[in-house]
């Protein structure tokens, strides 16, 4: 495929997964790391270098053995990279690595390029009083962070009150520090960005969940984030990475605040934990993309799409030496779980030993499947059993049932019963076309960005509800004409069916909310074969019931049958 050789500083799990990609393209990768490092285990040739990526001589030797040098970690000697870059291509650029490895310099650089970041103050060499000034400026709590050698939460400290300042300073010793204003985020999100010779591309936005400052879970797509916000996160990530020199993938971690604004938290100039899901969930993985970007090979943008929703769960070392093995073994029972173990030696608590990816046709299905594995992880950590956050969560609705007035509710009861029977999650809202036109407009315009795939609207009289809703959404809208005091519901029936060319309402019979529910199920079943099968079984039950009645009528005769009916 390509005779060029790639050299990597570091051979942990990120280097290993990069080699998985390289192996499939028959591209040779030379690793500089200790003998037997995870990446070396799956690459049998004699051009790897045993040693530390912090050793200048070893780095020079690596540079001689290959055409492009890249990194799996940013805590490298960038002066060494600067030196070798006259002989070999270094990607991303050593300047980029130098800026990013100092987290304070990284933030200042981003700010200078108009990228929104949390407010921060340099505290290197500052006195205790100056530290306290920050507390007065930012309020408590604020974050105290080490500028360098900080990752997986190491080097971060939350200063909760002024009395803690002294202790915090001691904790960090001589390390260069800075302070950051507390970001009151409702969620953390991340985007993997690909910088190529030709431009900047992004993978989808994911939600990241941290525990003890280590990434625990990622959700792709993020839960409870509109498509608009997810798109904004991609744009912000793109803007941040466009500011740097060089090629390759970059992880951009962001805070999503309660007011929906986004701030860049941290950048990783390499493949990142929050992009592991791409191996199974996207046609091209972050590792494929990194390899192609640094070698100027093509990266078709739509290869970065999400094939199926995916959840990543990290497997960390636990209290027992085989805690992580137990989690992996349990994952073997999970039909949609792809297991990645990194071939690391001893399992220290918190050490990343592997990860699991669960993909499924819907995020809810993936959540259901991953939950027992999260429980197993939590139980190992000795978290108290009992109600968990996730147990309280309701499934994201696929159907929204809206009605013009609560007086329509009794007509909708059979609709709700069918949806429950056929296990379709739904939500119910009151949105009058005439009394709350703005709310109906807002609801209809946003519906397409939520999990909802079908809308059922019930209304009587002029019954404009489903028609107006259809005018503001591209989702299919089903109309249930409700029989009101006059005209027997024919008024509503006509109002719904006789929509102008352009905005159809799928109208069912007067008061027949059963059929509205069943139509919604058929629409979902058009692409979801599991739903379709549930419907088939239900219809078969109906068929059997009628056939049974026919048998009874034949056997008992019409007279006793009528008697049985009490008529």
Beta strands 29-33 and 49-50: pairing type? Answer: parallel
Residues 6+ apart with CB under 8 A from 216: 209, 210, 313, 314, 377
- Cis? peptide before 221, omega within 30° of 0: yes
Q: Kindly tell me which residue out of 111, 504, 553, 561 binds a second copy, with binding defined by CB under 8 A.
A: 504
Distance (Å) of CA 209 to CA 73, 181, 220, 223, 275: 21, 20, 12, 11, 13
376 in contact with a second copy (CB under 8 A): no
For a second copy, the closer CB: 76 or 295: 295
Size of residue set near a second copy by CB under 8 A: 82
463 in contact with a second copy (CB under 8 A): no
3 state DSSP class of 387: coil
| Window 20-59: residues binding a second copy (CB under 8 A) | 20, 23-26, 40-45
Q: What is the 3-state secondary structure (H, E, C) of 535-552?
A: HHHHHHHHHHHHHHHHHH
Q: Kindly tell me which residue out of 453, 458, 461, 465 binds a second copy, with binding defined by CB under 8 A.
A: 453
Looking at the DSSP bridge assignments, the partners of residue 233 are none
For a second copy, the closer CB: 78 or 512: 512
Cβ(46)–Cβ(28) below 8 Å: no
Q: Kindly tell me which residue out of 329, 413, 435, 563 binds a second copy, with binding defined by CB under 8 A.
A: 329
Q: Kindly tell me which residue out of 102, 478, 482, 491 binds a second copy, with binding defined by CB under 8 A.
A: 478
Q: Kindly tell me which residue out of 536, 549, 556, 563 binds a second copy, with binding defined by CB under 8 A.
A: 536
Q: Which stretch binds a second copy (CB under 8 A): 4-12, 82-90, 270-278, 292-300?
A: 292-300
Q: Kindly tell me which residue out of 202, 205, 338, 444 binds a second copy, with binding defined by CB under 8 A.
A: 338
The angle formed by the CA atoms of residues 353, 358 and 363, to the nearest 5 degrees, is 135
How far apart, in whole angstroms, are the C-alpha atoms of residue 155 and residue 388? Answer: 29
Burial, 429: exposed, middle or buried (Cβ in 10 Å; 0-12, 13-18, 19+)? middle
Q: Kindly tell me which residue out of 12, 460, 461, 525 binds a second copy, with binding defined by CB under 8 A.
A: 525
| Window 202-261: residues binding a second copy (CB under 8 A) | none
| Window 80-109: residues binding a second copy (CB under 8 A) | none
Burial, 321: exposed, middle or buried (Cβ in 10 Å; 0-12, 13-18, 19+)? exposed
How far apart, in whole angstroms, are the C-alpha atoms of residue 443 and residue 477? Answer: 13
Q: How far is the CB of 553 from a second copy (least distance, A)?
A: 18
For a second copy, the closer CB: 137 or 329: 329
For a second copy, the closer CB: 374 or 456: 456
For a second copy, the closer CB: 146 or 451: 451
* Residue-level length of the chain: 567
| Window 430-449: residues binding a second copy (CB under 8 A) | 448
Q: What is the CA radius of gyration of the chain?
A: 29
Q: Kindly tell me which residue out of 143, 475, 484, 553 binds a second copy, with binding defined by CB under 8 A.
A: 475
Q: How far is the CB of 353 from a second copy (least distance, A)?
A: 9
334 in contact with a second copy (CB under 8 A): yes
- Cis? peptide before 177, omega within 30° of 0: no
How far apart, in whole angstroms, are the C-alpha atoms of residue 16 and residue 37? Answer: 9
For a second copy, the closer CB: 77 or 528: 528
Q: Kindly tell me which residue out of 167, 300, 349, 557 binds a second copy, with binding defined by CB under 8 A.
A: 300
For a second copy, the closer CB: 86 or 474: 474
For a second copy, the closer CB: 13 or 106: 13
Q: How far is the CB of 342 from a second copy (least distance, A)?
A: 8
């Amino acid at each position: 495929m390509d005779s060029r050789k790639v050299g990597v500083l570091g051979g942990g799990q990120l280097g290993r997964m990069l080699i998985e990609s390289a192996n499939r393209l028959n591209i040779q990768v030379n690793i500089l790391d200790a003998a037997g490092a995870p990446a070396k285990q799956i690459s049998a040739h004699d051009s790897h270098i045993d040693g530390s990526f912090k050793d200048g001589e070893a780095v020079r030797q690596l540079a001689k053995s290959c055409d492009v040098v890249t990194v799996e970690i940013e805590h490298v000697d960038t002066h060494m990279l600067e030196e070798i870059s006259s002989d070999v291509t270094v990607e991303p650029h050593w300047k980029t690595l130098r800026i990013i490895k100092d987290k304070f310099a990284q933030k200042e650089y981003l700010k200078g390029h108009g990228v929104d970041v949390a407010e921060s103050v340099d505290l290197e060499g500052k006195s205790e009083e100056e530290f306290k000034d920050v507390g007065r400026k930012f309020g408590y709590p604020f974050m105290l962070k080490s500028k360098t050698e900080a990752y997986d939460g190491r080097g971060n400290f939350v200063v909760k009150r002024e009395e803690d300042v002294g202790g915090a300073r001691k904790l960090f010793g001589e390390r260069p520090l800075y302070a950051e204003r507390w970001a009151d985020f409702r969620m953390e999100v991340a985007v993997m960005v690909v910088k190529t010779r030709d431009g900047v591309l992004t993978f989808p936005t994911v939600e990241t969940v941290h525990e003890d400052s280590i990434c625990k879970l990622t959700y792709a797509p993020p839960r409870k984030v509109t498509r608009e916000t997810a798109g904004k996160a991609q744009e912000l990530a793109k803007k941040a990475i466009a500011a740097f020199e060089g090629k390759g993938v970059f992880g951009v971690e962001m805070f999503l605040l309660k007011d929906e604004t986004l701030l860049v938290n941290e950048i990783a100039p390499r493949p990142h934990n929050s992009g592991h899901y791409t191996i199974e969930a996207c046609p091209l993985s972050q590792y494929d993309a990194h390899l192609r970007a640094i070698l100027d090979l093509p990266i078709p943008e739509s290869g970065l799409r999400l094939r199926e929703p995916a959840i990543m769960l990290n497997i960390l070392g636990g209290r027992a030496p085989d805690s992580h093995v137990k989690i992996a073994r349990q994952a073997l029972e999970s039909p949609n779980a792809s297991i990645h173990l990194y071939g690391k030696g001893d399992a220290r608590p918190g050490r990343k030993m592997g990860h699991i990816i669960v993909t499924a046709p819907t995020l809810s299905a993936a959540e259901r499947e991953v939950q027992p594995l999260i429980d197993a992880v939590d139980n190992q950590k000795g978290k108290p059993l009992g109600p968990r956050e996730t147990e309280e969560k309701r499934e994201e609705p696929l159907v929204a049932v809206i009605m013009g007035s609560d007086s329509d509710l009794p007509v909708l009861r059979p609709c709700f019963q069918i949806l429950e029977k056929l296990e379709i999650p739904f939500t119910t809202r009151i949105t009058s076309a005439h009394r709350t036109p703005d709310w109906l407009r807002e609801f209809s315009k946003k519906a397409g960005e939520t999990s909802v795939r079908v809308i059922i609207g019930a209304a009587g009289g002029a019954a404009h509800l489903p028609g107006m809703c259809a005018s503001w959404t591209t989702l299919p809208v089903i109309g249930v004409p409700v029989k009101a005091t006059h005209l027997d519901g024919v008024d509503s029936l006509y109002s719904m069916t006789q929509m102008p060319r352009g905005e159809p309402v799928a109208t069912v019979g007067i008061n027949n909310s059963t059929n509205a529910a069943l139509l919604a199920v058929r629409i979902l079943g058009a692409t979801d074969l599991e739903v379709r099968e549930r419907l088939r079984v239900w219809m078969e039950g109906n068929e059997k019931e009628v056939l049974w009645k026919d048998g009874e009528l034949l056997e008992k005769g019409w007279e006793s049958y009528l008697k049985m009916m009490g008529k």
